[in-house]
Amino acid sequence: MSRKQKRELWRILSAAGALVVVVLLTHWLEWPWWADLLCYLLPYAMVGWDVLRDAGRGVINGQMLDENFLMGIATIGAFALGEYTEAVFVMLFYQTGEWFQRLAVGKSRRSIAALMDIRPDSATVQRGEEWIEVSPDEVAVGEIIRLQAGERVPLDGVVVSGESTLDTAALTGEAMPRAVAVGDGVISGCINQSGLLTVRVTQPFGESTVSKILALVENASERKAKSETIITRFARVYTPIVVAAAVLLAFIPPIFAKHYLAAFPDWLGRALNFLVVSCPCALVISVPLSFFGGIGGASKQGILVKGGNFLESLSKVDTAVFDKTGTLTTGSFDVVSVKSEAFSESELLLLAVSAEQHSSHPVASALKKACADAVFPEISDVFEFSGRGISATVSDKAVLVGNQKLLLEKQIPFTPETDFGTQLYVAVDGQYAGCITIADRIKPNAASAIADLKTTGVRRTVLLTGDRTETAEAVATAVGVDDYYAELLPADKVDHVERILADSRRAVMFVGDGINDAPVLTRADIGVAMGALGADAAIEAADVVLMDDDPAKLALAVRLARRTMRIVRQNIVFSLAVKIGVMLVSAIGFGNLYAAVFADVGVCLIAILNASRTLKIQ
C-alpha cells in the first residue's frame, strides 16, 4: 500500500467515524433542520470534496459527464430531498469502492513492473587500466565490461573471458540457466549466476535487448484493442443519453400525477438512482486493465505482445504460417551423417574440414563444429570454386569437397544421396571417397508445438520457405504441418500469405525470424518473431516476440490471448446486465441510492478483480 493510499484510507475511516458521531448526535438532540444539515456536511465534505472538485473542473472543461459528476449530482440531490444520512453514506461507499479499485489497479501495475524490472542501473567498464562504474548508456560499442556473479547484464555483447551460467527467466520465461563461455553472445537483462565474465559490447544501450523489450511494453498501451476502443466510444455516447433519460424521468412522469409538486420528489429520487447506476466506469476501467494484465502475464512467460489490439487478434487465430529456418529448425547447420567405403567417418570428416578450415561458409562452420578437437594437418594449393566447393592438398592428398555440380564438372563418378539436408561430396586423388550430409536440425519440440497449436483450435498450418522442395517436404512431414510451399523469394511469401488471408475464416498468424520475413510479418493479421535469434528487422515488424525462440510458446500465447478475451467479455456482459437491471428497478421506484452505488462502484470493483486474473498464468 502506497503512502497516498494510506492517507486516503485514513480519510475514509475518519469520515466514517464522523458520520457515526453525527448520526448519534442528531438522534439524541432536537436540532433544527439546518443544524442537522451542517452536521452532515462535515463528514460529506471530508470524504467527498475531491469528487465535487473534479466534477466542477469537468463542468468548466466541458467534460462533465463522468462518474464524479454523476456522484456529485446524485448526493446533492439526496441532500435536497432531506436524505442526509443516505447522501453521506453513498459518498462514503463510493470512495471506499474507489480506494479498493485503485488498490487493485496499483497491484496489477506493480506486478507488471516487477516482471519487467530488468533495466540495469550501471555497468563496470574498463577504461585504461581501471574498471569504473558508469551508466550503461555511456558505454560505447567495442568497450569491455565486467560482470560479477549476481550482476544483471547491462548491454548486449560477446564473452571474451570467463565461463558462467545466465539466468534468462526475465527475458525468456525459462527456468533453466544457459551456460556461456568465450565467444558466446550474452543479452542484456539476464543475470550472471556464477563466474566472472568480461564481455565486449556489441550494441549501444539504446539498441540493446533490454531497451527494446521495455520500449515494446511501454508502448503497448498506445495500441488499443478493438474491444477497448469500442468501450471508450460507447461510454462517450452512452453517458449523455442516460443523463438525458434521467432528466426526462425526473420531470415528465410527474406531469401525469394529480399533484405535480407532490410527485416530483419521488421521481427525482428515481432519476438520481438512475444517474448513479448509469456510470460506465466498470467497463471503461476493467476492459483496458484486462488487456494490460494479459500483456503482463504473457511477458512473464517470455512472450512480448506489443499491444492490446494484437492480443485480440492473437485470440482469433485459425491459420498459422511458418518460416522454416530459425523458426521450426535451429537455424544452424550440423553434420547429420557421414557415408564412406574408403575411409572411416572420422578420417573423411578430417579430410573435408582440413580443406575447409579457412573458409567462413556455413557449411565449413558445421564441419569445424563436428571436428572441434581435431588437429589439422598442413594444407596447400587451396582453390575455391564459387558456389560449388573447394579443393586443397591435405597431407599430400588432392582433396575435393563440393556439391554435385563440382563432381560432375570434374568428371568424378559418384552416387547421389537423397537424405534430408545438404550433401557435401568428397573426392580424394580423383576418386570418389564419400558423402557428408549437413542439415539444419529441426527443433526438438517443433512437432509437439504444431500439435499443441492445433489443440487450441488452429485449423490449418502452412510452411513457407526459400529452401529446396525436398527439404521443405521433409521438414513439413517431420513437424506435421498441413501444407508447404518451397523455393520462395520474400515477395512470393507475401503473395502466398495474401491468398491464405483470403481463404482464412478469422485471423492468420505468421511466425518467422529472418530479415526476409519482415514484409510477411507486417502483412499477416498477427506477426510473431523469434526474439533470441531473430533479425532486428523481423522483431521490429512483428506484433508478438518470443524471447527464447521456443515454438511451444505459440500455443501458450494463443491460450493466454483467448483467456484474456474471455475475461473482457465476462466484464462487459456482467457490467451491462447488472446496470440495466438496477436502472430498470430504479426507474419503477424499487431501488435506492445504496443499490445504485453497488451497481456502479461494486460492479466496477468486481470487474477489476476479475480483470486482475489475466496476470495469472494457467
Q: How would DSSP label each residue in 479-541? A: HT-SEEE-S--HHHHHHHHHHHHHH-SSEEEEEE-SGGGHHHHHHSSEEEEETTTS-HHHHHH
Confidence check: pLDDT of 452 > 80? yes
Do residues 144 and 213 make contact, with C-beta atoms less than 8 angstroms apart? no
Query: Active-site residue numbers?
Result: 323
The arithmetic mean of pLDDT across residues 226-248, rounded, is 71
Nearest Cα residue to 133 out of 147, 113, 119: 147
Query: What is the model's pLDDT at position 543?
Result: 83
Residue 358 lies in a domain: yes
CATH number at residue 412: 3.40.1110.10
At residue 192, φ and ψ (nearest 5 deg) are -75, 120
Say how far apart CA 541 and CA 497 lie, in whole Å: 15
Question: For residue 312, is pLDDT > 70?
Answer: yes
Closest to 592 measured CA to CA, from 23, 54, 1, 93: 93
**277: closest CA among 301, 246, 306?**
246
Number of domains in the chain: 2
Q: Where are the beta strands (DSSP E) in 33-114?
A: none
- Domain range for 135 is 123-214
Most confident option among 267-276, 277-286, 609-618: 267-276
Q: What's the pLDDT at 212?
A: 64
Task: Compute CA distances 270 → 70, 254, 274, 599, whole Å.
Answer: 14, 12, 6, 14
CB atoms within 10 A of CB 477: 12
Return the top range by mean pLDDT from 100-104, 226-230, 498-502: 498-502
Q: Is the pLDDT of residue 590 over 70?
A: yes
Mean pLDDT, rounded, of the chain: 80
Write down the pLDDT at residue 63: 66
> What percentage of the chain carries pLDDT values higher than 70?
81
Residue 136 resides in a domain = yes
For the residues of 277-325, what is the DSSP string, one character each? HH--HHHHHHHHHHHHHHHHHHHHTTEEE--HHHHHHHHTEEEEEE-ST
Residue 192 lies in a domain: yes
Asked whether the beta carbons of 294 and 556 are under 8 A apart, the reply is: no
Is residue 297 over pLDDT 50?
Answer: yes
The mean pLDDT value for 200-218 works out to: 72
Q: Residue 460's pLDDT is what?
A: 93
498 assigned to some structural domain: no
Q: How confident is the model over 571-584, as a mean pLDDT? A: 82
The mean pLDDT of 359-381, rounded to a whole number, is 78
**Per-residue pLDDT tens for 113-171?**
554 456 677 899 999 889 999 988 899 999 999 999 888 888 989 999 988 888 776 55
The cell numbers describing 167, all together, are 539466468
Tell which residue, 508, 481, 514, has the closest CA to residue 496.
508
Encoded amino acid at 418, one letter: T
pLDDT at 364: 78
Q: What pLDDT is attached to residue 453?
A: 92
pLDDT on residue 115 = 47
Among residues 184, 214, 244, the one where a domain terminates is: 214
Q: What is the pLDDT of residue 233?
A: 66
For residues 486 and 503, what is the distance between their CA atoms, to the nearest angstrom? 20
C-beta separation of 123 from 139 below 8 A: yes
Could you tell me the pLDDT band of residue 188, with boundaries at 50, 70 and 90? confident
Measured over the CA atoms of residue 600, residue 606, residue 607 and residue 609, the dihedral's sign is: positive
* Domain end (from 395, 412, 442): 442
Checking if the pLDDT of 11 tops 80, the result is yes
Q: Does 346 fall in a domain? A: yes
pLDDT band at residue 462 using 50, 70 and 90 as cut-offs: very high
* CATH number of the domain to which 149 belongs: 2.70.150.10
Confidence at 223, pLDDT banded by 50, 70, 90? low
What is the average pLDDT across 425-437? Answer: 91
Are 147 and 153 in contact, with CB atoms under 8 Å apart?
A: yes
**Of 116, 113, 112, residue with least CA distance to 152:** 116
**Would 484 be classed as within a structural domain?**
no
Mean pLDDT, residues 76-104 taken together:
73
Length of the chain in residues, anyone?
618
For 485-506, write each residue's pLDDT tens digit: 987 766 788 889 889 988 888 8
Instruction: Examine the fold and report which residue of 189, 214, 239 is the final residue of a domain before the chain moves on.
Output: 214
Average pLDDT over residues 40-60: 86
Averaged over 212-238, what is the pLDDT?
59
Looking at residue 214, its pLDDT comes to 58
pLDDT over threshold 60, residue 596? yes
Confidence band of 221 (pLDDT split at 50, 70, 90)? very low
Position 103 confidence tier, pLDDT thresholds 50, 70, 90:
low
pLDDT at position 205, please? Answer: 84
> At residue 173, does pLDDT exceed 60?
no
Looking at the domain assignment, is residue 183 inside a domain?
Answer: yes
**Three-class SS of residue 236?**
helix
350 located within any domain? yes
How are strands ordered across the β-sheet holding 130-134? 130-134, 123-127, 144-147, 197-201, 157-161, 185-186
41 vs 28 pLDDT, higher one: 41
Per-residue pLDDT at 81: 66
Per residue in 61-81, pLDDT tens?
Answer: 876 656 677 677 767 877 876
Residue 312 C-alpha cell reads as 485480440
Q: What is the pLDDT of residue 538?
A: 58
pLDDT at 175: 47
